[in-house]
Amino acid sequence: MFAPFSSGYYLGRLYVEPAPGTAAVLHEAQHESVNRELYATGDGVERLDRPLVMKLENNHFAVHPDRSIPEGALAVPESILESTTVEHPPELREVLLAKADHARRLVDFGAV
C-alpha cells in the first residue's frame, strides 16, 4: 500500500473521497495493518489504533480507523477536500504517509 519515498514519508495511492464526519478516516483493517507494519516498533504490546499522519497535496492531517470506509479509500473532511484539486471524488490520488519519527514531530509541533 505504501512504499518508501523520502526520509520523512512513504508514498501510496488511495481513492480520496469526502468523509462522513469531521475526521479523516481509513478502513479499519488497513489502518491497523499500516500501523503494525510502518509505525510499530516491535517492543512489547503496542496500540495499533493510534492516528496515522498523512499529507494530501499541502494538507497534513491525522487519519483514524473506520470500518465503514471502503478498503483502498481515504475519506477526508470537506474542509480539507475543498483545498485540494480533487474535483470528482472518489479520485485515485498519491498521498504521503509520514514515517513514525516525522509523524511524532508533526504532532509535537501542532501541524496535525
pLDDT digits (tens, 9 = 90+) for 1-39: 899 999 999 999 999 999 989 999 999 999 999 988 888
Tell me what pLDDT residue 46 has. Answer: 63
Residues 57, 24 contacting (CB under 8 angstroms): no
pLDDT at residue 66 tops 90: yes
Overall fold of domain 2-108: Barwin-like endoglucanases (2.40.40)
Please tell me which residue, 108 or 14, carries the higher pLDDT value.
Answer: 14
pLDDT at residue 58 tops 80: yes
Tell me what pLDDT residue 49 has. Answer: 64
Average pLDDT over residues 88-106: 95
